[in-house]
């Protein structure tokens, strides 16, 4: 029996996961201010760009900075720990570079 190969999520699935991550970030009193400062976003930016794939890529980039955040988000939303990185790869700018 061969091991199951994880496939990259569709862009739509990646957007959904990133929106869930944004919700998790916004609900965390310690992480949310860090996100706002790091991204320079305002509340109106969040409302206006919450479904923008480029903004959501930045959300996942932020989340992926700290393994504790990834674990907490994935545990809260029932995702495997590899899901945020896989979703990030499906959004703009997430392609893995091939240097060969």
Question: Among residues 61, 48, 70, 69, which one has the least CA distance to residue 92?
Answer: 61
User: Residue 70 is encoded by which pair of tokens?
Assistant: 């990834």
Question: Among residues 22, 16, 40, 20, which one has the least CA distance to residue 91?
Answer: 16
What's the pLDDT tens digit per position in 25-73?
Answer: 999 999 999 999 999 989 999 999 998 999 999 999 999 999 999 999 9
Q: How confident is the prediction for the chain on average, in pLDDT?
A: 88
CB 64 within 8 A of CB 70: yes
The pTM of the full predicted model, rounded to 2 decimals, is: 0.84
What's the pLDDT tens digit per position in 77-93?
Answer: 999 999 999 999 999 87
Q: How far is CA 39 from CA 34, 55, 98, in A?
A: 8, 10, 28
């Amino acid at each position: 029996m061969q091991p199951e190969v994880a496939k990259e999520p569709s862009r739509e699935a990646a957007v959904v996961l990133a929106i869930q991550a944004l919700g998790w970030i916004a609900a965390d009193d310690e992480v949310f201010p860090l996100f706002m400062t790091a991204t320079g976003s305002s509340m109106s930016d969040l409302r206006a760009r919450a479904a923008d794939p480029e903004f959501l890529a930045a959300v996942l980039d932020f989340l992926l900075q700290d393994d504790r955040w990834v674990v907490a988000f994935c545990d809260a939303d029932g995702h495997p720990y590899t899901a945020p990185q896989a979703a990030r790869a499906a959004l703009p700018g997430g392609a893995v570079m091939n240097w060969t």
